[in-house]
Amino acid sequence: MKQLLQCFSARLSGRLESEQAVFREGIDRLVYLLTSTAIFSWFRSRAFLSSWLFVVLLMSMQSVQAILTIEVTQGNDKAVRVAVSPFSWNGKKILPEDMASVVEENLRLSGLFAPLPRKDMLSFPSSAKDVVYRDWDILGASYLVTGQVKQEGNRFEVNYQLFDIVRQKSILKGKVRGDESQLRGLAHHISDAVYEKITGIPGDFSTRIMYVTADRKSAEHTDYRLNYADADGQRQREILRSREPILSPSWSPDGSRVAYVSFESGRPAIFVQELATGERQKITDFKGLNSSPVFSPDGRQLALVLSKGENPDVYVMDLATNELSQITSHFSIDTEPDWMPDGKSLIFTSNRGGSAQIYQVGVNRLSNGTVVAEGKPKRLTFTGKFNARAKVFPDGKSLALVHKGQGATEFNIAILDLDTGRLRQLTSARLEDSPSVSPGGRRLIYAVSGGKNGELGIVTADGRVKYRLPSAKGDVREPVWGPSIATQR
């Protein structure tokens, strides 16, 4: 709470002037997003005519289902009380999406907020003139969010406002527009704006997650699917379907492309696929491993793992020239690379010291396009018997990883502080894998297995709030958090 207030006052003093600008920029982004959606539909119709492959990929993309649900397993009892009043609405039918509850759920799952139950509210204000501060104060709410939805033809316009109950004033006002299918997206945008206004940290609600589902029908038949969905598990879309394994998906920094490993030919190969068109390119299918592709921060290179029939080593491929540079060269296992945010070094898992641990190696891109390792790899983890699949936080100051302690039997998600070397275990299920950090660094998504079905788990980076996104059917695994949709180009 104290931290929040500090954040807030820091924002007030330092960023007041820029607020209007930030707000306008947000709207511009949204307008951009809506236009790019139009372009997406255009591509879709084109692709439909041009190739059957795209037909398969895209028809499945149209099937919008909610397969993941949310189960909160641990809440935060020190959360800030916020009230989200049901949005008013001028339409005749019921509002297709309860936007206020989407906002409410987002704020709750961020771990910092405890939304006031709707049944406790004394009134449902939708604009400033209806707000009775005293009532909200009595109910213990520190903030109030209101919204008005208007429909004209197929277009919906939402005016929203955030009130500071203690200071008895409106502190944020905004307007977003979209069609019916975008109402959830608009609610996520409002959640981001509210979250950022109160905490000073950009929200991560207008983001997507990607994951693999595996539906095992028999020992010989498993249906694998690569999907993406909103960060709350809703609006799922399919990227690829196969009878053979799909692994280690990764987002391009702008969210327009994904890379993954597919065994569809019976052997592993790395692909890069354009989400809007479904068009894809095979990047590598060398003998042996083709594994763990991950885009560089500038999106121009792909770090990946090849064994070419011998030892697994980390390589970098230039996506424009397809030139391959070998980064590590060791007889042990080197795998699971990730980029530091500045693109100047890679971290990876290696068992060169006898057990799986995380190492870091500098990389330098020469003028001729090849990438070379700089210096010897440096070991980063020293606690525990097994540390693997590390992902760098956006600020480059810590790593999320899979950790097994000395004498422990569980594999859990932990955060390593790179300055102090301290390792902090976040979760405690039996088998956890594949941590991925949200763009703002506030939350982590990971895979939980060892029970009946594999599930996705989300935990706030402070460890306070945990929830699960189980799949309605089969296993769900290999989650990866995508970039903010608003930054898509």
Partner 1 sequence: MRFANFVKATALSAIALWLAGCASTGGQSTSDVEATPEYATEEVVIETFPALDPAVQAVIDSGEIQASPEEIERLLAHKTYHFGFDSSKLKESDYKALDVQAIYLNSSEGRGKKVIIQGHTDERGTRTYNLALGERRANAVKHYLVSKSVSPSRIEVISFGFEKPLDPAHNSAAWAKNRRAHIVIN
Task: Identify which of residues 156 and 339 has a Cβ nearer to partner 1 in the complex.
Answer: 339
Length in residues, the chain: 489
Rounded Cα gap, residues 429 and 450, in angstroms = 8
Query: What tokens appear for 180 in the block?
Result: 């019916």
Task: Identify which of residues 205 and 260 has a Cβ nearer to partner 1 in the complex.
Answer: 260
Pairing of the two strands 207-216 and 222-230: antiparallel
Q: Please, what sign has the CA dihedral across residues 301, 396, 254, 60?
A: positive
Helix 2-50 vs helix 183-199: crossing angle, to nearest 10: 150
Task: Identify which of residues 141 and 333 has a Cβ nearer to partner 1 in the complex.
Answer: 333
**Whole-number minimum distance, CB 410 to partner 1, in Å?**
9
Task: Identify which of residues 25 and 285 has a Cβ nearer to partner 1 in the complex.
Answer: 285
Rounded Cα gap, residues 343 and 337, in angstroms = 12
**Whole-number minimum distance, CB 280 to partner 1, in Å?**
21
**Whole-number minimum distance, CB 182 to partner 1, in Å?**
34
Task: Please check whether residue 261 is in contact with residue 269, taking contact to mean a CB–CB distance below 8 angstroms.
Answer: yes
Among 243, 246, 206, residue whose Cα is nearest residue 227? 246
Task: Identify which of residues 452 and 489 has a Cβ nearer to partner 1 in the complex.
Answer: 452
What Rg value do the Cα atoms of the chain yield, rounded? 23
**Whole-number minimum distance, CB 222 to partner 1, in Å?**
8
How many helices and strands (H and E) does the chain possess? 5, 31
**Whole-number minimum distance, CB 243 to partner 1, in Å?**
12
Among 87, 97, 95, 102, residue whose Cα is nearest residue 158? 87
Task: Identify which of residues 278 and 337 has a Cβ nearer to partner 1 in the complex.
Answer: 337
**Whole-number minimum distance, CB 352 to partner 1, in Å?**
12
**Spatial CB neighbours of 40, under 8 Å, sequence gap ≥ 6:** 276
Pairing of the two strands 80-84 and 113-115: parallel
Task: Identify which of residues 51 and 355 has a Cβ nearer to partner 1 in the complex.
Answer: 355
Task: Identify which of residues 230 and 478 has a Cβ nearer to partner 1 in the complex.
Answer: 478
**Whole-number minimum distance, CB 342 to partner 1, in Å?**
24
Task: Identify which of residues 187 and 356 has a Cβ nearer to partner 1 in the complex.
Answer: 356
Rounded Cα gap, residues 366 and 320, in angstroms = 15
Task: Identify which of residues 182 and 357 has a Cβ nearer to partner 1 in the complex.
Answer: 357
What are phi and psi for residue 51, nearest 5 degrees?
-155, 140
**Whole-number minimum distance, CB 267 to partner 1, in Å?**
6
Q: Which residue has the tokens 């028999």?
A: 218
**Whole-number minimum distance, CB 303 to partner 1, in Å?**
12
- H/E element, 52: helix 52-62
Q: What residues line the site for partner 1 (CB under 8 A)?
A: 216, 219, 245, 247-248, 263, 266-268, 287-289, 291-292, 305, 307, 309-310, 312, 333, 335-336, 349, 355-356, 386, 388-389, 402, 411, 430-431, 433-434, 449-451, 477-478
What are phi and psi for residue 433, nearest 5 degrees?
-150, 165
Rounded Cα gap, residues 60 and 241, in angstroms = 9
**Whole-number minimum distance, CB 322 to partner 1, in Å?**
23
Q: What angle do CA 362, 201, 35 make, to 5 degrees?
A: 90
